[in-house]
Structure 1
Amino acid sequence: MSNTDRVDPALLAGNRKPLAGYQAQHFQWQVEGKVATVTLNRPERKNPLTFASYAELRDLFGQLRYATDVHAVVVTGAGGNFCSGGDVHEIIGPLVRLEAPELLMFTRMTGDLVKAMRACPQPIVAAIDGICAGAGAIVAMASDLRFGTARSKTAFLFNRVGLAGCDMGACAMLPRIVGQGRASELLFTGRSLGGEEAERWGFFNRLCAPEDVLAQAQALARELAEGPTFANGITKTMLHQEWAMTIEQAIESEAQAQAICMLTEDFTRAYEAFVARSKPVFQGN
């Protein structure tokens, strides 16, 4: 009996669905094999976000929690740039005319995008070239892994427009990636972080040639998608949850999480492949 045969169809219908056929409205969405690629696609403006693209990205990453056919995600931008942040004319201009309730609605929506990226079980690999600024830098930060180029420029430039650096989780997440002092410098000054410096600081996992950055990000995503995806999802969950735990709580939580992973068929497959001196073929269950 297969794993699917053991589960009530009504449970599967409400909690599992394919996303390969999703038709994106405000960016490009492509699925090849088990890897999805999100491409921010307004190259004439360096791929800024709008109210509509924020909301669609938030909803799509939320749906990825239930996806059966997508096991890793790549996020990139078209035309040699990643993302220039919120569109000056379509977001910044309208915001200055809003009252507090609507402004809070907007800031909660942008924060919900980061929450959805962190909550989806798929590893997210950002392929970053050129401009990566404001909300674009946040999307890169919220990804699990980041590949950049030497010519890329990453800037958390909120203070340059009169706002605090505490945007969309930056004050919580950025120090955990690059350290408190370096995060403070970026958030207080809004200066650009060049690609080579970003790699030295640990913001980028790898530097690539501009013509190769997307292909290398997709290659890593394919590698991750072929791994034990249920266990990878647990790893992502624990990396996020353990920020708020003591060491003792973290060790106990990891003991429980690992015991669950030992119940998976992928764990058995790995053992049987080791005994047979072959490579395991993981299926994510």
Structure 2
Amino acid sequence: MIVLEQPYETLLLEAPAEGVVQVTLNRPERLNAMTVTMFDELESVARAVGDDRDVRVLVLTGAGTAFCSGYDLADAEELTSLSALGMLDRQERAARALSAVRAVPVPVIAAVNGAAAGGGLSLSLMADIRLGSPAAKFNAAFVRIGLSAGDLGASWLLPRLIGPSAAAEIGFTGRIVEAEEAERLGLLNRVTGPDDLLDQTLAMAAQICANSPGGIRVSKRALQANLEVASFAAALELENRGQALLTRCDDMSEALAAFKAKRVPNFSGR
């Protein structure tokens, strides 16, 4: 995988299984707090994953005891001294990085191993699927430091995930949402055991990798794009085009023949 060849200062990249890239936020001494460098590196990795056809699933997790504690407060002190345009540039840089993670064309699974606060919450929302250990917890910490809960996509994604009323309560209070409640709300797909978060994440990644790469990519595109269309008819139009496209791909013929023969298709190397 080409994406693994580049060294990073704040991220650790590895391939724990065929077709899977694991990106670990690697500032455990700062609870994986975000910096300008991390934003730049996240954007770079996301774009590299999108260009690497060998990557079928991206796993995102944190080193140590936290997933991501949000923007590093040691750097946050300088924000008030920036000009308005300087602050806008800083904000757009962060938003561009998280948007790039969401735009990765293959499924992104967040393995939330601890606190996901502020920008860490927003980062977890960029994933298609979130699994959490019992130590996972979330909060919209923005309001606690005088900022808006509408940050880095949270005000758009969170209400769509858990409903506007629950999102408003979490956003206005800044309270901690523990793993069990997060699962009940739909913020987490599943709470794992205390020691098998990555094992369960990789098992799910293997299930995804067993399917057609093209089918998965088009499925992700449809699920994301149809969150934003204005009508059922527009959603059907997008779906129809995707299905028509996939019938022209070799994967569909192979999968159909394998299904009829009750065997497992081999999509490796596609």
Q: Which residue of 2 aligns with 1:128?
A: 112
Give, as a single letter, the amino acid of the residue that structure 2 aligns with 1:124.
V
Give, as a single letter, the amino acid of the residue that structure 2 aligns with 1:221.
A
TM-score by length of 1: 0.90
Give, as a single letter, the amino acid of the residue that structure 2 aligns with 1:18.
I
Alignment of 1:226-241 (within 5 A): 226-241=210-225
**Residues 225 and 24 (structure 1 numbering): CA distance in 2 closer, same or farther, change over 3 Å?**
farther
Q: 71, 82, 87: which one pairs with 1:98?
A: 82
Secondary structure at 2:238 match in 1:
helix
- The alpha-carbon deviation at position 284 of structure 1 amounts to 7.1
Q: Which residue of 2 aligns with 1:253?
A: 238
The superposition leaves residues 126-183 of structure 1 with CA deviations (integer Å, 9 ceiling, x where unpaired) of 1112211011111111101001122322011111111111101111111111111111
Secondary structure at 1:150 match in 2:
coil
Matched, 1:19 2:3: yes
Q: 177, 197, 204: which one pairs with 1:193?
A: 177
Give, as a single letter, the amino acid of the residue that structure 2 aligns with 1:152.
A
- The alpha-carbon deviation at position 66 of structure 1 amounts to 0.9
Q: 23, 28, 47: which one pairs with 1:38?
A: 23
CA distance in 1 between counterparts of 2:269 and 2:147 reads 43
- The alpha-carbon deviation at position 49 of structure 1 amounts to 1.0
Alignment of 1:40-189 (within 5 A): 40-90=25-75, 92-189=76-173
Matched, 1:280 2:265: yes
Give, as a single letter, the amino acid of the residue that structure 2 aligns with 1:215.
D
Consecutive unaligned residues in structure 1, runs of 5 or more: 1-16
The superposition leaves residues 74-128 of structure 1 with CA deviations (integer Å, 9 ceiling, x where unpaired) of 11111121111111102x1121210111111111111112221221111111111
- The alpha-carbon deviation at position 283 of structure 1 amounts to 4.2
Contact kept, 8 Å, 1:178 with 1:201, in 2: the verdict is yes
Where do 4+ consecutive residues of structure 1 move more than 6 Å? none
Secondary structure at 1:105 match in 2:
helix
Give, as a single letter, the amino acid of the residue that structure 2 aligns with 1:126.
A
TM-score by length of 2: 0.95
The superposition leaves residues 40-62 of structure 1 with CA deviations (integer Å, 9 ceiling, x where unpaired) of 12212211111101111012112
Secondary structure at 1:19 match in 2:
helix
Contact kept, 8 Å, 2:251 with 2:267, in 1: the verdict is yes
CA distance in 1 between counterparts of 2:176 and 2:269 reads 40
Contact kept, 8 Å, 1:75 with 1:126, in 2: the verdict is yes
Contact kept, 8 Å, 2:98 with 2:152, in 1: the verdict is yes
The superposition leaves residues 238-262 of structure 1 with CA deviations (integer Å, 9 ceiling, x where unpaired) of 1111122111100111011111111
- The alpha-carbon deviation at position 63 of structure 1 amounts to 2.2
Contact kept, 8 Å, 1:124 with 1:145, in 2: the verdict is yes
Consecutive unaligned residues in structure 2, runs of 5 or more: none
CA distance in 2 between counterparts of 1:217 and 1:275 reads 29
The alignment of Structure 1 onto Structure 2 pairs a total of residues equal to 268
CA distance in 2 between counterparts of 1:106 and 1:184 reads 26
CA distance in 2 between counterparts of 1:180 and 1:211 reads 33
Root-mean-square deviation (CA), in Å? Answer: 1.5
